[in-house]
Amino acid sequence: MAETFEPRIVAFLCNWCSYAGADVAGGSKLETPYTMTPVRVMCSSRVKPEMMITALLRGADGVLVAGCHPGDCHYDKGNYYARRRFAVLRKILETLGLEPERVRLSWISASEGNRYAEVMGEFCTKIKELGPNPIKLKNKSTRGTGKE
């Protein structure tokens, strides 16, 4: 029996908008990937590139950061800072030999449960196309050899 690849996704969700949007999606019984792990953060600007890289190094196949729409941030300019950090992260991933498409930044408000489900579904599909995280595969192949 062949195993089908189900991507592990870590989603950093803004407390004020995206996390609430995820709650609306759940309350509306909208379909979202079951292999997604939500991480509630106070603002998308609190998600540093090293947090996203750590998630990938620890086996996540993809990382999503979702926050308030630009101009609607509860912390004034937080999502603008997140957008700048995200641009830097994509360059770092290329340097590490990872596809920049393994990370995604989206703006999802508290009332956008449908958008949350749509973004998660699209991202999961994209990660399935990319396949498993190559770092995870490399780490699996060295387990038990003393080269970990």
Q: Where are the domains of the chain?
A: 9-142
Name the fold adopted by 9-142.
Answer: Rossmann fold (3.40.50)
Q: Given a cut of 80, is residue 138 above it in pLDDT? A: no
Q: What pTM value is reported for the model?
A: 0.89
**Cβ distance 13 to 43 under 8 Å?**
no
| Residue 53 CA from chain centroid, whole number | 11
Tens-digit pLDDT profile for residues 103-127: 999 999 999 999 999 999 999 999 9
